[in-house]
């Protein structure tokens, strides 16, 4: 992987290696694509995906943090970063990232779900967790997590 190689060719190679399960080589090609001028907004989600697939959450976080320092308003990557923090047990950072995403995109149901789960798992703020479950249900009443969200509501108001 030398300098001057077309970024799209490197991305294609990275995707091909990822498709056959060689996530380490996929990461190398995708990182090289960025070094050769590929659009970070295209490559970063791919890099995060191959790192997560290989269980390298800390490395995925490093890529996401670096990207969000340059592109702080990219809610898609901030959401991924929040879920990655949750995966490694860093509830505080996960919460901050997801709250940012919710403030920027309040009508997106998934960040409400993710934040509700983090708050529920931490057990520190059941009222706030309940509010996030309710907001998820308001936005996605038949969404993928609707049944679990309903089951997680506080008993006194579980029939909205």
User: DSSP for 44-72?
Assistant: HHHHHHHHHHTT-HHHHHHHHHHHHHH-T
Distances (CA, A) of 75 to 4, 79, 154, 159: 31, 6, 29, 32
CATH 1.25.40.10 location in the chain: 72-146
**What pLDDT does residue 130 have?**
96
* Threshold 0.85, pTM exceeds: yes
Lowest mean pLDDT among 40-44, 148-152, 155-159: 155-159
Half-sphere exposure of 30 (CA within 13 A, CB side): 25
**What pLDDT does residue 123 have?**
85
Output the CATH code of domain 1-70: 1.25.40
Q: Helix 7-19 to helix 23-35 angle, to the nearest 10 degrees?
A: 170
- What does the pLDDT look like over 43-75, one tens digit per residue? 999 999 999 999 999 999 999 999 999 999 999
pLDDT of 1 strictly over 70 = no
CB 64 within 8 A of CB 44: yes
Q: Which CATH number fits domain 72-146: 3.30.465.10, 1.25.40.10, 1.10.3720.10, 3.20.20.70?
A: 1.25.40.10
Sign of the C-alpha dihedral computed for residues 92, 72, 46 and 28 taken in this order: negative
Task: State how far the Cα of 115 lies from the Cα of 93, in Å rounded to an integer.
Answer: 11
- What does the pLDDT look like over 104-147, one tens digit per residue? 999 999 999 999 999 999 888 899 999 999 999 999 999 999 99
CB 36 within 8 A of CB 12: no
**What pLDDT does residue 4 have?**
62
Task: State how far the Cα of 84 lies from the Cα of 79, in Å rounded to an integer.
Answer: 9
Which residue's structure tokens are 């001057």?
A: 4
Q: Tokens standing for 30?
A: 């995708």
């Amino acid at each position: 992987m030398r300098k001057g190689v077309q970024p799209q060719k490197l991305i294609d190679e990275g995707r091909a290696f990822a498709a056959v399960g060689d996530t380490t080589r996929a990461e190398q090609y995708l990182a090289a694509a960025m070094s050769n001028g590929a659009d970070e907004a295209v490559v970063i989600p791919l890099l995060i995906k191959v790192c997560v697939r290989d269980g390298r959450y800390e490395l995925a976080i490093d890529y996401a943090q670096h990207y969000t320092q340059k592109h702080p308003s990219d809610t898609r990557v901030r959401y991924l970063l929040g879920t990655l923090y949750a995966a490694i047990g860093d509830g505080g950072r996960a919460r901050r990232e997801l709250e940012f995403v919710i403030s920027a995109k309040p009508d997106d149901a998934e960040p409400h779900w993710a934040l509700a789960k983090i708050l529920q798992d931490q057990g520190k703020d059941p009222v706030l967790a309940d509010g996030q479950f309710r907001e998820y249900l308001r936005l996605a009443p038949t969404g993928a997590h609707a049944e679990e969200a309903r089951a997680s509501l506080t008993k006194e108001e579980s029939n909205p």
